[in-house]
Amino acid sequence: MIRTGELLADIATSLGYEVIGIDLFRTRLATATREQLREEVVLLRWPGKK
């Protein structure tokens, strides 16, 4: 299983975004392995310049 939410959060952090959270959107059944997979939402904030 690939932890896509965490990977995207790491990439976003390296680009200057602030990670607010990683929330579960839903789970679904994988057709090949019959395992429950997590689908997540990555919440980001761009601090920008003031």
Alpha-carbon span 46 to 33, nearest angstrom: 37
β-bridge mates for residue 16, sequence order:
none
β-bridge mates for residue 41, sequence order:
23
Assigned domain for 12 exists: yes
- Residue with tokens 């997540």, as numbered in its chain: 40
The pLDDT tens digits for 1-50 are 789 999 999 999 999 999 999 999 999 999 999 999 999 999 999 998 75
What does the H/E/C string look like for the chain? Answer: CCCHHHHHHHHHHHCCCEEEEEEEEEEEECCCCCCEEEEEEEEEECCCCC
Assigned domain for 27 exists: yes
Assigned domain for 19 exists: yes
Q: Is the pTM of this model over 0.85?
A: no
| Number of separate domains in the chain | 1
Assigned domain for 17 exists: yes
Domain that holds residue 32: 4-45
Assigned domain for 50 exists: no
